[in-house]
Structure 1
């Protein structure tokens, strides 16, 4: 669940940051204007240079886009997650301020592509901040799309692509235009208000000067031509439906006439040279502009310059460039929205935007030797958007896709080869580990044999093994009364000694109980715990057995821990669930080092003392499952080094077949351990 949540949050952050960064990057001037709005809101607009705000706009866009791509590809997961967390924290604080104090109408998160209210922006940022918290907490849960060794390609190519994109769009025009003045837009329809919609009210104020006096006028009290135009601004005085184009107005500075309708309703082409402020306009290509004007005159195409500058700036421009085209006044913000170039050229026909050019990419004169109707620049290119999307795909999306595909194929191939080597190695190691893993035959005398009989049997087993060395470890587990005496007749190098039980208490008033410490003091090295008979007859619970195991290990005893299912559980196919639960309930609380002193004994309860025996295949299947459960808990190495014994009516006749299975490491023998010949026959199965 955490894995899915982390990757969902990662993809959400990546998508938002890639979109946000890209729309800012391809419109660096628009991003700069939004930064100017924020600086104005805090009273710092006059203290930061235009170059600094433009540089900040490009860096901000590149940072957002790059972080989004890095998050998508899970590059530098910890670092990128923390950077996104910091960025989202700052952005959320800013949008809190914007929401409560409303210094700007639109945060500009997605440039002109998507407009959000301040409330929507705050909600969006809170969601993204929570997503950032998730990826910061679990950064390594993010899946890599490209291997670590190839991530430098994505890192550098992303930065190169986005910076070049910003530079190109700054030099020419934004690759994608989301503003209401885009190519193909009908400016008249953009200004329409649907029938019945409440109409907002606007007021345009003109700042004029005369004889050293500066005053503001509206259209109602506009003065005579003896006044000199200084500035103009349009403000909304009453809320209502706001059409996409609501502030486009063309004023004649000579008489104050509004010629907007005349220009937009004119049949045929019109060139609009747009310069928000001529004081800051680039005059590098004024020659090309003048040539276009000459062409326009030859073909009776009107050309006018729209600007928010006053007479002084207009006169300066005319003197500098020799401009003969007329100048008209339009709101500066509107002009900045119309075209991201100062100056820029727009061609309209019947009120529809046909084409737009930056002053750096004006149409050449050789292409203007025929009427516009017969030239490509005089027609809207229906494939322009598709062509631009194709360019982005070919230059960025496709290379990264091919890199990802190649990297994944390479990684997959490498993984396959590694798996093959590992399987070969695993097979060799498995054989080797099986040889290294202790082979054990342990006898469980249960409540049989008096002291004299027990001593005799122990001595007989010891002598038999002394005469014919075993190929495995041998253990006999006796009742408590035998332990000290039997320890005296056994060669500990040949036969280990174990108890059949121990108490779950260290010491105290527990009449009839024998503690692990007492067992250890007799010379015993092992103890059987969890036997089905103890569970069934004496109600030993997993918690009781857990205490016994801990005390046995604490006192230096190795534990033979028994698990197994009843006949009903086997018939219900619940044997796997049962053995797993018994391990988890009593021994999986141990550390890997402690678990190394545990020998697992699987005893199918339905096969103990009944004469029934699980087939070798059944025994191998459950033994393999037990080893896999141990591997899940402690890892493959611990699992491979754990001896797992079979404890279900093993006899000399079936022991060789059982012991031949790779996951059966010996047996916990009941009735057959009470006769030396039978016990020795099972031990000798390891020699076959």
Structure 2
């Protein structure tokens, strides 16, 4: 039930973020205008230049879209879910302010595709934030739709796709136009409804001649022929790179008796400046600036009306040229209504984005399924005698705990308990140096092996306070722990130091329990595989096959040591299998199958059976739970 709830929340979040990011990406200028509204409401108008706001708008759309895709495919599950919580916490706070103060009519979270009231947006964000907290609590409950090895393809392809969408929409115009002036809109019908007192998005639409203030709105909308409208919200900021084409379109309109007006919100000075720059002879009309920005996301842009309907729209980068306008509009395709292009644009998105990812997911799942089949077939073919050769071990690491008397008492209790009830696995206790010689005198090492927690990287000499491998062996110990994360972190033990320790331990016939594992930061960055591989390569992969067979590997995720956190059985098995695979690459499958790999990291009696049941987990290196005989035996009994 928990996994089902997590995945339902995950799909809800994915759908909303993908939709929100996509509709912003197809209309980055619309997002820019909404951000300007926010800044004005906060009395910060003009605080940031438009170019910076536009870059932020594109970045925000890419972030939302990619987070939705990553959530859908369960990519970087922990990082993605936590990032969503942060984003939604910010958005929820912002929309609460909007709902309480109502400085703007809507938040613009879905652009013009879906307009919500400020209170509707707030409650929507509350639901999404709750869902995000559920997913962040149990991120590994999300089922993967694609393997980790292929996630980079989805990450890069999604980011590239959404940035291309934004870039093309800026260069041309939004491919999905949800505004009330899209191609096919009957402006005359909408205007008439508004004039009759009905609610209409055209309430602020008007056209007044700039020279005498005459209202020609009805004249333009009632014209049964063609009308070109050059839309330039602010002539002072208009792009003047296509002046020749604009003038050619005006001359074409004059030659064919088509109406041509430039609609702008600029005043007389702006119009005069534009005339001086362009030599424009066409008439100028005044219209509301917000309406003009809504009509077309281009400054300038061009609309073509026929019989009061919008039949074509062009950005200043895509204006028709002399070849497009070789004959009267009545004889040209662009003089006819464009029809509903929504289906074509949806098909393009499906072809260029959805279909490739769908094919990748299907291929990936088939590949993983075939890999599982091969692995199962190979595991079934392994000789049972060879499987039994891999020793199962539960080892206790006492760390810096217990004085000599308490340590002896614990060792005696364990010795008596396990002699009375033989364990089904190898048992080792690794104690501080002061305990070794005393415990070795009474410990039955046929039942419980004795080990040290460390040894020096020097053979002998003037190294005050150090204990050599030879000294450890002389106490009667059989094992030594090397490479523990606490030694690496607190005492700065490098791969070279550990390499020397391993060589000296083996020279003195000590069995090495070699520890590897990643930090929380490395796990969240998805680097756990390369970290454990580097630790093996740095300190033990220099050994001969014969010497490597004497090594016991202990995988300990640093983020789970002493924290109470435990890797799930699936997580632990996944990386144990990876460790065995890189051992196979180095020494061959036979050596990998014989190598004992232990799990450490808040392992206790309650979770040990599930962990030890995994095929690549051969026991545990136990910390705090090894300090009480009953707790330690509870873990040992997991092998029953």
**TM-score, normalising length: structure 1:** 0.57
Q: Write the deviation string for residues 544-602 of structure 1: whole angstroms up to 9, x where unpaired.
A: xxxxxxxxxxxxxx9xxxxxxxxxxxxxxxxxxxxxxxxxxxxxxxxxxxxxxxxxxxx
Distance 1:307 1:638, change over 3 A: closer
In structure 2, C-alpha distance between the alignment counterparts of 1:640 and 1:50, rounded to whole Å:
61
Conservation of the 8 A alpha-carbon contact between 2:228 and 2:303: yes
Q: Contact between 1:30 and 1:111, CA under 8 Å: does it hold in 2?
A: yes
Q: CA deviation at 1:639?
A: 13
Equivalent residue in structure 2 for 1:384, among 324, 341, 348: 341
SS in 1 for 2:382: helix
Post-superposition Cα deviations, 1:7-65, rounded to whole Å, max 9, x if no partner, equal 11111111000000000011010000000000000111122111111111111111111
Distance change >3 Å, CA 631–CA 286, structure 1 → 2: same
Q: Does 1:341 align with 2:298?
A: yes
Report 1:105-504 matches (<5 A).
105-193=105-193, 199=197, 242-382=199-339, 384-425=341-382
Deviation of 1:112 (Å) = 0.3
Following superposition, the deviation at residue 342 of structure 1 comes to: 0.2
How much has 1:311 moved relative to structure 2? 1.0
Tell me the distance in 1 between the aligned counterparts of 2:114 and 2:202.
16
1:45 alignment partner in structure 2: 45
1:229 matched residue in structure 2:
none
- Aligned counterpart for 1:635 among listed residues 613, 617, 622: 613
Q: 1:280-337 CA distances to partner (integer Å, 9 max, x unpaired)?
A: 0000001000001111111111110000001111111111111111000000000000
Shift of 1:427: 5.0
Residue 188 of structure 1 deviates from its aligned partner by: 2.0
Tell me how far apart the structure 2 counterparts of residues 349 and 104 of structure 1 sit (CA, whole Å): 34
Contact 1:347 1:354 in 2 (8 A): yes
8 Å contact 2:207–2:287 — kept in the other structure?
yes
SS in 1 for 2:203: coil
Alignment gaps of 5+ in structure 1: 200-240, 437-516, 528-557, 559-629, 642-688
Output the CA distance in 1 between the equivalents of 2:321 and 2:383. 72
Matched positions, count: 416
The residue aligned with 1:567 is none
Distance 1:429 1:9, change over 3 A: farther
The 1-side partners of 2:127 and 2:14 are apart by 13
Quick one: structure 1 residues 638 and 322, their matched pair in 2 at CA, closer, same or farther if it must change by over 3 Å?
closer
Instruction: Give how far 1:408 is off.
Output: 1.0
| Counterparts in 2 of 1:155 and 1:328: CA distance versus 1, 3 Å | same
Measure, in 2, the Cα distance between the counterparts of 1:178 and 1:124: 21
Cα distance in 2 for residues equivalent to 1:45 and 1:97? 18
Distance 1:191 1:426, change over 3 A: farther
Question: How much has 1:256 moved relative to structure 2?
Answer: 2.0
Change (3 A) 1:281 1:147: same
* Contact map agreement 1:631 1:638 (CA 8 A) in 2: no
Matched with 2:17 is 17
**Aligned counterparts of 2:279 and 2:131: Cα–Cα separation in 1:** 58
Q: Summarize the Cα distance change of 1:252–1:409 in structure 2 as closer, same or farther, 3 Å threshold.
A: same
Deviation at 1:526, TM superposition (A): 6.1
**1:157-177 superposed Cα distances (whole Å, 9 cap, x missing partner):** 111111111011001000100
**How has the CA–CA distance of structure 1 residues 255 and 194 changed in structure 2, closer, same or farther, with 3 Å as cutoff?**
closer
Distance between the aligned counterparts of 2:24 and 2:117, measured in 1? 18
Rounded to whole Å, the distance in 1 between the matches of 2:618 and 2:37 is: 68
Q: Distance in 2 between matches of 1:160 and 1:178?
A: 24
The alpha-carbon deviation at position 383 of structure 1 amounts to: 5.6
CA RMSD after TM alignment: 2.9
In our comparison, the structure showing a higher alpha carbon Rg is 1
The Cα shift of 1:388 comes to 1.5
3-state secondary structure, aligned to 2:231: strand
Determine the C-alpha separation between the residues in 2 that align with 1:57 and 1:631.
51
* TM superposition shift of 1:379: 1.5
Following TM superposition, by how much is the alpha carbon of 1:633 offset from its aligned partner in structure 2, in angstroms?
Answer: 8.7
Quote the Cα distance in structure 1 between the aligned partners of 2:355 and 2:616.
46
Distance 1:636 1:372 in 2: 74
2:194·2:203 contact (CA, 8 Å) conserved in 1? no
Structure 2 residue aligned with 1:93:
93
- Alignment partners' CA distance in 1, 2:27 and 2:156: 22
- CA drift of 1:426 comes to 7.4
Counterparts of 2:618 and 2:64 in 1: how far apart (Å)? Answer: 49
- Ranges in structure 2 where 5+ consecutive residues have no aligned partner: 393-412, 423-446, 448-607, 620-640
**Partners of 1:168 and 1:245 in 2: how far apart?**
28
Paired position in structure 2 for 1:656: none
Q: CA deviation at 1:391?
A: 1.5
Structure 1 residue 77: Cα displacement: 0.8
Deviation, 1:386, is 2.1
| Cα 1:328/1:26, change in 2 over 3 Å | same
Return the alpha-carbon distance in structure 1 between the equivalents of residues 54 and 239 of structure 2: 16
